[in-house]
Amino acid sequence: MHQIQTPIGDEVIRSLKVGDSVTLSGTMVTGRDAAHKWMIETFIKQTRPAQGDDLQVHEELKKLLNGSVIYHCGPVVTGKSLQEYRFIAAGPTTSIREEPYQADVMKHFNIKGVIGKGGMGAKTLKGCEETPGVYFHAIGGAASFLAQTVTKVTGVFKLEFGMPEAMWVIEVKDFPVVVTMDSHGGSQHAVVDEASKKVLNDLLSR
């Protein structure tokens, strides 16, 4: 079991291999579809102008995500009226929706870890090699349990996207994950996909 604290150095990332169990502690940021699309269009490809506090948020995210982790999560959060936020559920979201964006976002913000479920594709795997970074698979169906590892909500960006799509800044303690894509080109998801295709082809050929 690897116990890792954010921010994470390249040497730690390079030491991780597919199949390694990890507990994460420290600061991470949630981000789903709306957040990734916004980051790509506003700051990376710059196909839309920055609006409102976008530039200020960008500078904050550059600091928070540098060497840290982005979590594909649409949490259930209480305390909005008093801005005393607390996570009630914090399960992973299916990651493949961020495949068009993830490698570019990793490179731009120097993100070392991506947490989600279901794995990602070739573009993200290449991003993991180049950044370097890893994909951490979180436990699906354990949203309440994972929320218990969130010790504090320290901030939120882009709340106008809605509670699930906002970028929540959280502190976690011993958040459990498994490395399923590493910085050496290893992908358990690719292995499973290839094996599944072989079984399917064998069944169809009968």
Q: Which residues are catalytic?
A: 36
- Three-state DSSP state, 77: strand
Write a three-state SS string for 33-51: HHHHHHHHHHHHCCCCCCC
Angle at 105 between CA 145 and CA 49, to 5 degrees: 120
Nearest in space to 153 (alpha carbons), one of 181, 128, 172, 175: 172
Rounded Cα distance between 97 and 102, Å, is 9
